[in-house]
Amino acid sequence: MDFEKINSQIPDFNQAAADEAAAHWNNCAKPVGSLGELEALLIRIAGVTGSAAPDFSRRAVVIVAADNGVVTHGIASTPPEITVTMSGFMAKKRSSVCIMAKAANCDSYVVDMGCFKKLPFDGIIDRHISDGTADISVTAAMSRGQCEQAVQAGIDLVRDFKFTGGYKILATGEMGIGNTTTSSAIASVLLQRTPAEVTGRGAGLTDDALERKIKIVEKAISVNRVDPLDPFDVLRKLGGYDIAAMVGLFLGGALYSVPIVVDGFISAVAAYTARRLCPKSYYAMVASHVSAEPAAKMILSALELNAVIHAGMRLGEGTGAVAIFPLLDMAAAVYRDLMTFADIGM
């Protein structure tokens, strides 16, 4: 996969549209900059889409489901079967993210990128590559071809959601037991931090299980001899299909001028990997919240993104990403409908 070519194909940030949006905010009859990051979000989105008229009328959360071979080491608080079970609830719109998305007038889709068995539910987008990835503590998670296939699938999903579905903005979500371990491994290498610094409790590990998780991350990095200067090497050896597909979502967002909302730690790791692969992909990324994982702030800092929501969330699935939509709606309403200084004779 030629990431230099992909980066060259990404449109430049539309500074004229961003400046127009900023000027409009400054003309609204309120203290300048008083909506803080909400103003910055609309300005950023204007630069991505090339329009100073915000339109979030069609939005979706794309939940990528995949399993990770590393779960055999007891590094998760739930059994691996939960990936398939929860994906079924998501397909039926009964999981947390789907309920939150519905409240936010947001559609939800589940993509099977490589669960331990194909998801046998109606409504699943089938991009199944294989029955889970390999155990990263033994060997590379994916072959080069598998990883490229997952990244390309993410890029193509954005294209389809935009041109076939008419979606204006997409949120990232994931479902896969063990993916805080794979994310921690990637974060450790790309951020040049020790595994202990970036590895958290995920869905609620005990002290002993956390220590085991840290050791597995250390072993995975050692065994795979990853090249910290080659983000694709890091991704394919230490990541998973879910993370690779989300990398593709962020690249696709930049290629097709669709803002992509970063969720929590796992999604942010994918976003940072995408930025390292294609620096121009950064412009299409929109931060939502800071998760409770220890490396969440580190990743957002490395991404140079400011999160709007600080609620200690750690559920995953895309719940933090969809939570930003009501805030965007309120900001857009003020942007569109508030009188200007000229209207009030100032």
On whether residue 35 sits in a domain, the answer given is no
pLDDT value of residue 207: 83
Q: Which residue has the higher pLDDT, 130 or 291?
A: 130
Q: Which of 32-46, 127-141, 206-220 has the lowest mean pLDDT?
A: 206-220
The mean pLDDT value of the chain amounts to 95
Residue-wise burial string across 96-113, b where 16 or more C-beta atoms lie within 10 A, e elsewhere = bbbebbeebebbbbbbbb
Mean pLDDT score, 59-84: 92
On whether residue 21 sits in a domain, the answer given is no
On whether residue 34 sits in a domain, the answer given is no
On whether residue 198 sits in a domain, the answer given is yes
Give the H/E segment covering residue 84. helix 82-91
Task: State the Cα–Cα distance between residues 170 and 197, nearest whole angstrom.
Answer: 30
Task: State the Cα–Cα distance between residues 184 and 265, nearest whole angstrom.
Answer: 9
Number of CB atoms found within 10 A of residue 79's CB: 11
On whether residue 39 sits in a domain, the answer given is no
pLDDT value of residue 41: 96
Mean pLDDT score, 220-245: 97
Q: Which residues are catalytic?
A: 317
Give how many domains the chain has, as a whole number.
1
On whether residue 191 sits in a domain, the answer given is yes
List the one residue out of 39, 238, 29 whose CA is nearest residue 136: 238
Q: In CATH, what number is assigned to the domain containing residue 282?
A: 3.40.50.10210
Residue 186 sits in which domain range?
Answer: 55-328
On whether residue 290 sits in a domain, the answer given is yes
pLDDT band for position 14 (cuts 50, 70, 90)? very high
On whether residue 16 sits in a domain, the answer given is no
Plot region of 200 (φ>0 → left; ψ -120 to 50 → alpha; else → beta): beta
pLDDT value of residue 271: 98
Instruction: Answer whether 164's CB lies under 8 Å from 152's CB.
Output: no
Encode pLDDT of 317-335 as tens digits: 999 999 999 999 999 999 9
Kindly state the tokens that stand for 162. 């935009």
